[in-house]
A and B are shown apart, each in its own frame.
Chain A
Amino acid sequence: GDSVTQMEGPVTLSEEAFLTINCTYTATGYPSLFWYVQYPGEGLQLLLKATKADDKGSNKGFEATYRKETTSFHLEKGSVQVSDSAVYFCALQGGSEKLVFGKGTKLTVNP
């Protein structure tokens, strides 16, 4: 079945550092890919998405590119802020329409 594997955390960075969280997937067909973020005490929020190969999703300085050849959707940000501290989930949506999530990566950004 469909699955998502993402980099295990926790990840701790200093403010203004570069962030990469790796995500790879296994799916039949051509799934849509997502990054969700969960801030402390809040629900999951969609951060960005890409619905076809080579698409780049971006939001709030975060970017991820849908790479079909490597089945990857790595999340990047050039300069993280303390307010980016949260848990980040990579997910895919395939033919069944349900979202399949990775285990999540906790990011802590220190001032």
Chain B
Amino acid sequence: EAGVVQSPRYKIIEKKQPVAFWCNPISGHNTLYWYRQNLGQGPELLIRYENEEAVDDSQLPKDRFSAERLKGVDSTLKIQPAELGDSAVYLCASSYRRGSGVGYNEQFFGPGTRLTVL
């Protein structure tokens, strides 16, 4: 079974340029997450989707970051314009959430996209 796929793996851009990251979750997974991992830190959640609905975007800097998950499958995370402080690894994860109750759902992570803003 294929895991979570992300592209590109690496991206180097000048500040103020736009950039986009793409994620294809594991087939059948209805929940998708974007995390940002700064150097020497653990990942921090940016946004969580259930199907095509963003159910938690409280940590997404909405002035420059946007995300979409059309048709509840693939997702794109965009930064426009990028700033030096956006240099990080952007991780996508997916899980299968059963029902509406809160409970543990194992999250499977992709390899990440390492962004360098110069």
A is bound by B = yes
A102 and B105 form a contact (CB under 8 A): no
A103 to B3, CA, bound (A): 25
**Which B residues contact A (CB, under 8 angstroms)?**
3-4, 33, 35, 40-45, 48, 56, 91, 93, 102, 104-112
Q: Is A20 located at the chain interface by the 8 A CB criterion?
A: no
A95 to B56, CA, bound (A): 12
**Which A residues contact B (CB, under 8 angstroms)?**
4, 32, 36, 41-46, 49, 51, 89, 91, 93, 95-99, 101-104
Q: Which residue of B lies closest to A45 (CB)?
A: B109
Majority secondary structure, B binding face: loop
| A32 interface neighbour in B40, B48, B104, Cβ under 8 Å | B104
A89 to B37, CA, bound (A): 12
Q: Write out the residue numbers on chain A whose beta carbons fall within 8 Å of the beta carbon of B43.
A: 44, 89, 99, 101
Q: Taking the nearest CB of chain B, how far is it from the CB of A20, in angstroms?
A: 19
Q: Write out the residue numbers on chain B whose beta carbons fall within 8 Å of the beta carbon of A97.
A: 48, 56, 102, 105
Question: With A43-B110, A44-B91 known to touch, is A98 a contact of B48 (CB < 8 Å)?
Answer: yes
